[in-house]
């Protein structure tokens, strides 16, 4: 880090030359023209932001079952077409050549497994949860004790 003492002792001639050139350049100008602040400053938030930030646009909305919901939003024919188009992309050529996986994925069995036509849930009997009757409405957790070695500093804060 170079501070003013180092600049003055090591670069004094350069520093003085730079100062003199600045004085010569701005000698006739009034001081308000030297200011870096221009007169077109706008108050913050005076123009509302209309477009969404790029990082917000590129971040997908959180969802647990995005793929399944995506297929449920289109017709069964569109879903099958998209599924068949993705087989080339998602199955490696070596695996395709060594096995009959592509034939299986394109069969009715593969379509039933990977292209949902309706949502039936997890197909279990209705679940009933039993709670104890004396559960408190609210429970306040205890504060963690402060380490004795840090207590003095924590007390100051």
Collect contacts of 81-89 with beta carbons under 8 A, ≥24 apart. 83/111, 83/114, 83/115
Tokens found for residue 55: 């990082």
pLDDT greater than 70 at residue 4: yes
Average pLDDT, the chain: 84
pLDDT greater than 80 at residue 10: yes
Using one digit for the tens of pLDDT, what is the confidence trace for 38-63? 667 777 777 777 788 889 889 988 88
Residue 34: predicted pLDDT: 61
pLDDT greater than 90 at residue 106: yes
Phi and psi, residue 49, nearest 5°: -75, 120
Contact 106, 84 (CB under 8 A): yes
For residues 105 and 12, which has the higher predicted lDDT (pLDDT)?
105
pLDDT greater than 70 at residue 36: no
- Per domain, the residue ranges of the chain are 4-31, 66-114
Residue 40: predicted pLDDT: 73
Span of 11-20, 42-51, 76-85 with lowest mean pLDDT: 42-51
DSSP state of 134: T
Span of 26-30, 37-41, 108-112, 151-155 with lowest mean pLDDT: 37-41
Residue 1: predicted pLDDT: 67
Verdict on whether the full-model pTM lies above 0.75: no
């Amino acid at each position: 880090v170079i501070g003013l003492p180092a600049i003055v002792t090591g670069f004094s001639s350069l520093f003085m030359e730079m100062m003199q050139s600045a004085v010569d350049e701005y000698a006739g100008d009034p001081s308000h023209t030297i200011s870096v602040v221009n007169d077109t400053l706008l108050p913050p938030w005076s123009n509302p932001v209309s477009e969404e930030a790029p990082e917000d646009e590129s971040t997908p909305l959180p969802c647990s079952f995005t793929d399944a919901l995506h297929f449920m939003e289109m017709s069964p024919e569109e879903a099958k077409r998209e599924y068949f188009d993705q087989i080339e992309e998602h199955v490696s050529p070596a695996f395709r050549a060594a096995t009959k996986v592509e034939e299986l994925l394109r069969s009715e069995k593969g379509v039933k497994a990977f292209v949902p036509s309706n949502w039936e849930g997890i197909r279990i009997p209705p679940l009933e949860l039993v709670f104890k009757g004396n559960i408190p409405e609210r429970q306040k957790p205890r504060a963690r004790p402060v380490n004795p070695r840090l207590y003095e500093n924590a007390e100051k804060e």
